[in-house]
């Protein structure tokens, strides 16, 4: 399993990234309702990922890759974040805060507002981001249309407002967004087509206390947007020339000022949306890759914390049942499955109960982590792990190991995406 089995805390030293959460992409009944709402309104959830400029490894090439990695023949290049050894350690509060995020649901969700004129391609790109980066897509327009279809008392008012291309009162939209976020077991949200005006923005911030990470803004000329909407053909009541023109005016008068506001805070990421769907997505992808790197590092930290605290259920949840490993304990052999690792968790528990000691915890420190993404569904995390072992016979001893951990994003039986640890390589680090 790669490490000590006694009770411990994980000190997250030597890193520049501040991790947020592990993306487990669970689809709750609420998100399924939203999907249903989408199909009712005929909105596209289309598009498999283009893969952008990265190589996407098939299952077969993945095995080859593992063989190379295992043989020490693989060099990790490409995007990474470097971390200076000895950089500041997380404070106790931050560590506790991160520990609280182990359940993936935090009070501090990651929100990206997706703005752009009507027909600029917001919904199309959001579907691709969901596919590749696992965000939950909340379209304010879809939520409002679902509210009409639900027979709510506000239904007629919302329907008339949409027909006129006007903006629905902020409290109605914010309430729908907040409810959808609360019902969704995720921490990563794309909020599409909102805030539509300054009041929307102020009410959302006031009610939820959430500041967006950034604003993804699709910039597209009116004639192109008009052409796209007129050929959208999804039976939307507002996709007619008269309402389209009104929507363009509302966009210019009310939504552009919101974008301008965020410009002043440096949060706008403007994308030229005139190109093809895949070309636009290629421009979008770099904005999301670091979230995946962040999540993979956090998943690794959670795994190590599980090892150090002897928490086998966490280890089992994060690891693929057929996890493969090269580690000193396996005497140079490739071991497969979790049983080999479970032995050490059981041993730790037995030793602790027989000795009855409750001494200080084993402490792991990750030094110089690097996260390399292989397409959008796989990634490799490498680092040196220092483990301070408080108990005898090696009391006060620090061990140093180089670890390479491979993660793959997979769909579970419920069809939900989750990161699974599929292989690791651990060897003693040369000491200085």
Ligand X SMILES: O=c1ccn([C@@H]2O[C@H](COP(=O)(O)O)[C@@H](O)[C@H]2O)c(=O)[nH]1
Ligand Y SMILES: Nc1ncnc2c1ncn2[C@@H]1O[C@H](COP(=O)(O)OP(=O)(O)OP(=O)(O)O)[C@@H](O)[C@H]1O
How many CA atoms does the CB half-sphere of 185 hold within 13 Å?
13
**Does residue number 232 form part of the binding site for ligand Y (CB under 6 A)?**
yes
Instruction: In angstroms, give the least distance from the CB of 162 to ligand X.
Output: 4
Binding positions for ligand X, 96-135, rule CB under 6 A: 118
Instruction: In angstroms, give the least distance from the CB of 274 to ligand Y.
Output: 7
Q: Give the 3-state secondary structure of 107-127.
A: CCCEEEEEEECCCCCHHHHHH
CB 190 within 8 A of CB 136: yes
Question: CB-based contacts of 283: which residues, under 8 Å, 6+ apart?
Answer: 271, 272, 275
Instruction: In angstroms, give the least distance from the CB of 373 to ligand Y.
Output: 24
CB closer to ligand Y out of 274 and 384: 274
**Does residue number 141 form part of the binding site for ligand Y (CB under 6 A)?**
yes
Q: Give the 3-state secondary structure of residue 427.
A: strand
Distances (CA, A) of 200 to 112, 122, 170, 243, 256: 15, 18, 5, 21, 13
CB closer to ligand X out of 237 and 278: 237
Is 167 assigned to a binding site? yes
CB closer to ligand X out of 248 and 345: 248
**Does residue number 122 form part of the binding site for ligand Y (CB under 6 A)?**
yes
Phi, psi torsion values for 11, nearest 5 degrees: -95, 120
**Does residue number 165 form part of the binding site for ligand X (CB under 6 A)?**
yes
Binding positions for ligand Y, 190-209, rule CB under 6 A: 193
**Does residue number 166 form part of the binding site for ligand X (CB under 6 A)?**
yes
**Does residue number 167 form part of the binding site for ligand X (CB under 6 A)?**
yes
Residue with the shortest CB distance to ligand X: 141
Is 269 assigned to a binding site? no
Question: In this structure, are strands 136-139 and 214-219 parallel, antiparallel, or unpaired?
Answer: unpaired
Is 119 assigned to a binding site? yes
**Category of 332 on φ-ψ map: left (φ > 0), alpha (ψ -120 to 50) or beta:** left
Using CB under 6 A, which of the segments 10-18, 136-144, 300-308, 313-321 binds ligand X?
136-144
**Does residue number 244 form part of the binding site for ligand X (CB under 6 A)?**
no
Judge if the upstream peptide bond of residue 36 is cis by omega within 30 degrees of 0: no
Distances (CA, A) of 241 to 158, 220, 223, 229: 20, 17, 12, 9
CB closer to ligand Y out of 247 and 370: 247
Instruction: In angstroms, give the least distance from the CB of 196 to ligand X.
Output: 4
**Does residue number 118 form part of the binding site for ligand Y (CB under 6 A)?**
yes
**Does residue number 175 form part of the binding site for ligand X (CB under 6 A)?**
no
CA distance 313 to 303: 10
Which of 104, 113, 133, 194 is in the footprint of ligand X by CB under 6 A? 194
**Does residue number 401 form part of the binding site for ligand X (CB under 6 A)?**
no
Distances (CA, A) of 141 to 44, 250, 415: 13, 14, 26
Instruction: In angstroms, give the least distance from the CB of 38 to ligand Y.
Output: 11
CA distance 254 to 195: 10
Residue 2 interaction partner, one of ligand Y, ligand X, none, beta carbon < 5-8 Å per kind = none
Instruction: In angstroms, give the least distance from the CB of 276 to ligand Y.
Output: 6
DSSP state of 254: I
Is 120 assigned to a binding site? yes
Phi, psi torsion values for 64, nearest 5 degrees: -60, -45
Sheet holding 334-336, edge to edge: 8-11, 362-373, 378-389, 397-411, 417-428, 319-326, 334-336
Binding positions for ligand Y, 249-288, rule CB under 6 A: 276-277, 280
CB 39 within 8 A of CB 353: no
CA distance 364 to 382: 15
Annotated binding-site residue numbers for ATP: 119-124, 232, 275
Residues in contact with ligand X by the rule CB under 6 A:
118, 139-141, 144, 161-162, 165-168, 173, 193-194, 196, 200, 238, 247
Residues in contact with ligand Y by the rule CB under 6 A:
44, 116, 118-124, 141, 193, 228-229, 232, 276-277, 280
Annotated binding-site residue numbers for CMP: 200
């Amino acid at each position: 399993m790669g490490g000590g089995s006694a009770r411990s805390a994980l000190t997250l030293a030597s890193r520049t990234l501040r991790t947020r959460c592990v993306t487990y992409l669970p689809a709750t009944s609420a998100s399924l309702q939203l999907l249903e709402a989408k199909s009712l309104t005929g909105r596209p959830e289309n598009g498999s990922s283009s893969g952008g400029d990265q190589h996407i490894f098939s299952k077969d090439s993945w095995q080859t890759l593992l063989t190379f990695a295992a043989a020490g023949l693989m060099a990790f290049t490409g995007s990474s974040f470097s971390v200076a050894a000895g950089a500041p350690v997380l404070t106790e509060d931050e560590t506790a805060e991160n520990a609280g995020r182990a359940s993936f649901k935090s009070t501090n969700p990651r929100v990206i507002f997706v703005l752009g004129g009507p027909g600029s391609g917001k919904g199309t790109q959001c579907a691709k981001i969901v596919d590749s980066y696992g965000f939950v897509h909340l379209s304010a327009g879809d939520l409002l249309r679902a509210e009409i279809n639900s027979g709510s008392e506000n239904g007629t008012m919302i329907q008339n407002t949409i027909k006129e291309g006007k903006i629905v009162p902020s409290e109605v939209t914010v309430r729908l967004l907040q409810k959808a976020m609360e019902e969704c077991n995720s921490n990563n949200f794309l909020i599409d087509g909102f805030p539509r005006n300054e009041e929307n923005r102020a009410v959302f911030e006031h009610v939820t206390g959430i500041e967006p990470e950034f604003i993804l803004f699709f910039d597209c000329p009116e004639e192109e947007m008009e052409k796209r909407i007129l050929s959208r053909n999804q039976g939307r009541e507002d996709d007619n020339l008269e309402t389209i023109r009104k929507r363009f005016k509302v966009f210019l008068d009310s939504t552009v000022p919101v974008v301008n506001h965020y410009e002043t805070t440096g949060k706008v990421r403007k994308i030229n949306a005139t190109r093809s769907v895949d070309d636009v997505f290629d421009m979008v992808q770099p904005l999301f890759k670091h979230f995946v790197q962040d999540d993979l590092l956090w998943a690794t930290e959670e795994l190590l914390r599980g090892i150090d605290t002897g928490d086998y259920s966490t280890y089992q949840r994060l690891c693929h049942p057929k996890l493969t490993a090269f580690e000193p304990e396996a005497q140079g052999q490739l071991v497969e499955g979790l049983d080999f690792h479970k032995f050490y968790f059981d041993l730790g528990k037995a030793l602790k109960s027989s000795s009855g000691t409750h001494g200080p915890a084993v402490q792991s420190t990750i030094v110089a982590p690097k996260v390399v993404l292989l397409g959008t569904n796989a990634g490799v995390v490498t680092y040196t792990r220092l483990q301070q072992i408080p108990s005898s016979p090696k009391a006060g001893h620090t061990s140093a190991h180089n670890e390479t951990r491979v993660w793959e994003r997979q769909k579970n039986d419920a069809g939900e995406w989750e990161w699974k640890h599929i292989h690791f390589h651990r060897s003693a680090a040369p000491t200085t």
